[in-house]
Amino acid sequence: MASKPSIPQGTRDFSPAEVSKRQYIIQTIKNNFEKFGFQPIETPSFENSDTLMGKYGEEGDRLIFKILNSGNFFFNKNKIELPESIEALQVNSAETIDINQRIELNKFTGKISEKALRYDLTVPFARYVVQHQNEIEFPFKRYQIQPVWRADRPQRGRYREFYQCDADVVGSKSLWQEVELVQLYDTVFTSLGLEGVTIKINNRKILSGIAEVIGASDKLIDFTVALDKLDKIGEDGVKKEMIEKGIAEEALLKVQPLFNFSGTFADKIKQLSELLASSEEGMKGVEELKFICDNVAVLGLATATLDLDVTLARGLNYYTGAIFEVAAPKTVSMGSIGGGGRYDDLTGIFGLKNMSGVGISFGLDRIYLVLEELQLFPETVAATSKAIFINYGDKEALYASKAIQKLRQENIKVELYPDNVKVGKQFQYADKRLIPFAVIAGDQEIASNSYALKNLVTGEQVSVDFEGLKNALLA
């Protein structure tokens, strides 16, 4: 007996209606990317393993899908020598593998797999810039909308195969790029009708400055990882974790203001200036944030709010300046729906030094869930036809097809029911497809060069000529 068809965990099929809604979001993002001067590129779905490995930290490396080399592999001494400890490894549980076993496993994996599915769009973009640097005009503004793959544990809004929608600028250190990216976020979400998002911003230099002021520069990552959990575990939980990581209690007294951080953007900038007065690095971060905030305030945002969140610490392994994260409106329970930041040397991993860049990403799947929950998809977003022509036979079908041909030239989605079957069955088909109109063209309509247009929602039926038909379907 044939096995029941299924798909891998963490992947999805999409119905016509779902694809139409996803394309609506993608097209809206794409249109605004291009409006802001970003150019499209595409990179392969898989890269050489050494392009990806070691770029995301140990946790990221573990989530990269590796591709088995073509050909047959027999684990014997004539082909590939299988390390004795491989059989003992529980590769699904990273905690059970010590460093020597991991090195041994990586060597073995390298022999049977030389390629991997891309984990994100940023590292392939860095590789693209370095490989094509002589063909690119800098600063280079690119956008990329393609799927990526991660061997992650699936959950709501998180999948193993998903799309990323990225926009980056490389080759410029100007903070005007950050100002524009804030505007881009605002413009896209306003275009989608998603009002009330919060664009959170912080700066790596501020986090470094705080660690410096409290004498914990060597504990920067531990400090920021704990601070990032403030909204989840509260002030006491954060302090407890910091102390467990070796940060002195007297150091925490110096950052007490961070736990009561509130007020307007300007108020927060003032508090940070006082806290970081003795840190040159920290004050650089304050000045950068002030520049972005002041100019965004003058230019204005349509529906989004820009907020300084000093606990924001995403991407510390590569962000060097501004850090962005977008929160959905408070009426929706959802994680971040976008994020990004400034990186001073991303292309350095491929040998091209001092190429500063800044970029943001939109979370397509989470944006979809938010729009669905808030019922923000326009009714016009549908995969269905606007009208179906009822088939009464070959003569009538030819008459209908002439009209269909002209309507399609006007970008109106229409179709002919292909078979001459009972009219009731054709109307039932239209109903299940959620097609709003039926066009009836029998002997009487052919004789008078007209069409009977029936509204399948209200039941109303009118007789129209071709212009009347076209205008009714365009309305």
What percent of the chain is modeled with pLDDT above 70?
90
Q: What angle do CA 80, 82, 85 make, to 5 degrees?
A: 160
Tens of pLDDT, residue by residue over 290-325, are: 999 999 999 999 999 999 999 898 766 678 999 999
At the top level of CATH, the class of 384-474 is alpha beta
Tens of pLDDT, residue by residue over 134-150, are: 999 999 999 999 999 99
What is the pLDDT at residue 104? 58
Q: Give the pLDDT band of residue 37 (cuts 50, 70, 90).
A: very high
Measure Cα distances from 103 to 85, 124, 447 in Å. Answer: 11, 25, 82
Strands 437-440 and 39-40: unpaired
Residue 122 counted as an annotated binding residue: yes
Tens of pLDDT, residue by residue over 222-257, are: 888 888 888 788 888 888 888 888 888 888 888 788
What is the pLDDT at residue 238? 86
What is the pLDDT at residue 87? 47
Tell me how far the alpha carbon of residue 396 is from its chain's centroid.
Answer: 48
Number of helices (H), then strands (E), belonging to the chain: the values are 17, 16
The H or E element spanning position 48 is strand 46-48
Measure Cα distances from 393 to 350, 396, 422, 440 in Å. Answer: 65, 5, 11, 12
Q: Is the pLDDT of residue 357 over 70?
A: yes
What is the pLDDT at residue 86? 46
Cα separation, 382 vs 377, in Å, equals 10
What is the pLDDT at residue 57? 76
Residue 318 counted as an annotated binding residue: yes
The H or E element spanning position 100 is helix 99-112
Q: Is the pLDDT of residue 92 over 50?
A: no
Tell me which residue of 254, 207, 249 sits closest to 228, measured CA to CA.
207
- State the helix-helix crossing angle for 16-35 and 364-373, rounded to 10 degrees: 110
Tell me which residue of 187, 240, 250 sits closest to 29, measured CA to CA.
187
What is the pLDDT at residue 97? 53
- Dihedral (CA of 39, 43, 45, 49) sign: negative
What is the pLDDT at residue 48? 96
Strand order in the sheet with 451-455: 414-416, 387-389, 437-440, 451-455, 461-464
Residue with tokens 């280079």, as numbered in its chain: 140
- For the chain, what are the domain ranges? 16-51+116-374, 69-112, 384-474
Q: Which two tokens stand for residue 245?
A: 């990581």
What is the pLDDT at residue 89? 45
Of the listed ranges 87-91, 186-190, 413-417, the one predicted with least confidence:
87-91
Of the listed ranges 99-103, 152-156, 234-238, 464-468, the one predicted with least confidence:
99-103
Residue 120 counted as an annotated binding residue: yes
Tens of pLDDT, residue by residue over 168-208, are: 999 999 999 999 999 999 999 999 999 999 999 999 999 99
What is the pLDDT at residue 133? 96
pTM: 0.85
Measure Cα distances from 249 to 246, 256, 282 in Å. Answer: 9, 11, 21
Residue 164 counted as an annotated binding residue: yes
Residue 168 counted as an annotated binding residue: yes
Q: Give the pLDDT band of residue 106 (cuts 50, 70, 90).
A: low
Mean of the per-residue pLDDT values of the chain: 89
Q: Is the pLDDT of residue 412 over 50?
A: yes
What is the pLDDT at residue 360? 96
What is the pLDDT at residue 77? 47
What is the pLDDT at residue 73? 54
Q: Give the pLDDT band of residue 219 (cuts 50, 70, 90).
A: confident
Query: In terms of residues, how long is the chain?
Result: 475
Q: What architecture is the 16-51+116-374 domain classified under in CATH?
A: 2-Layer Sandwich (3.30)
